[in-house]
C-alpha cells in the first residue's frame, strides 16, 4: 500500500480491470515488451522504487491501457496523488451498528 505523500501507482488495478473485461491478465514482462521498455524498469515503476516518473513511460502505459480497456485510460487512472483511501475490505473500517 502507498505511504502518505507518495504517488499511488494503479498499474495492478488496471491489469485487474483488463482481466475482468478480457478474461486475460498480461504479465509485467508482456506489457514491458509491448510498450518497448525493460521489464526491470516497469517493475521498479510499479513498485514505486524510482526517483522520478519518466513521462515517456507514463505516456506509453496510458496509451497501452487506453487501447485495452473499454472505457479507455487517462493519466489519472494510472497514478494518483495523494493516494486514495484503501478499498481493501479486510482493512477498511466497518461502521459501528448501535
Q: What is the CATH number of the domain that holds 68?
A: 1.10.260.40
Select from 25, 24, 61 the least CA-distant residue to 43: 61
Is 2 a domain residue?
no
Residue-number span of the structural domain to which 45 is assigned? 8-80
Does residue 91 fall inside a structural domain?
no
Give a yes or no: residue 62 inside a domain: yes
Q: Which residues contact residue 4 at a Cβ distance below 8 angstroms, ignoring those fewer than 6 apart? A: 82, 83
Our count of domains for the chain comes to 1
The DSSP code sequence of 36-79 is: TS-HHHHHHHHHT--SS--HHHHHHHHHHHHHHSTT---HHHHE
Q: Check if the beta carbon of residue 21 is closer than 8 Å to that of residue 13.
A: no
Report if residue 25 sits inside a domain.
Answer: yes
Assigned domain for 35 exists: yes
Q: Let me know if residue 16 belongs to a domain.
A: yes
- pLDDT-based confidence at residue 4 (cuts at 50, 70, 90): very low
Q: What mean pLDDT is predicted for residues 83-91?
A: 54
Of residues 55 and 97, more confidently modeled: 55
pTM: 0.75
**Residue 30 domain-assigned (yes or no):** yes
What are the tens digits of pLDDT across the range 20-52?
999 999 999 999 999 999 999 999 988 888 777
When comparing pLDDT for 4 and 62, which is higher? 62
Amino acid at each position: 500500500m502507498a505511504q502518505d505523500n507518495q504517488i499511488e501507482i494503479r498499474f495492478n488495478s488496471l491489469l485487474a480491470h483488463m482481466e475482468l473485461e478480457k478474461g486475460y491478465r498480461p504479465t509485467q514482462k508482456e506489457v514491458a515488451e509491448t510498450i518497448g521498455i525493460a521489464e526491470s524498469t516497469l517493475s521498479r515503476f510499479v513498485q514505486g522504487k524510482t526517483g522520478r516518473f519518466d513521462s515517456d513511460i507514463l505516456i506509453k502505459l496510458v496509451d497501452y491501457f487506453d487501447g485495452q480497456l473499454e472505457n479507455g485510460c487517462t493519466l489519472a487512472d494510472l497514478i494518483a496523488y495523494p493516494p486514495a483511501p484503501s478499498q481493501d475490505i479486510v482493512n477498511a473500517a466497518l461502521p459501528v451498528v448501535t
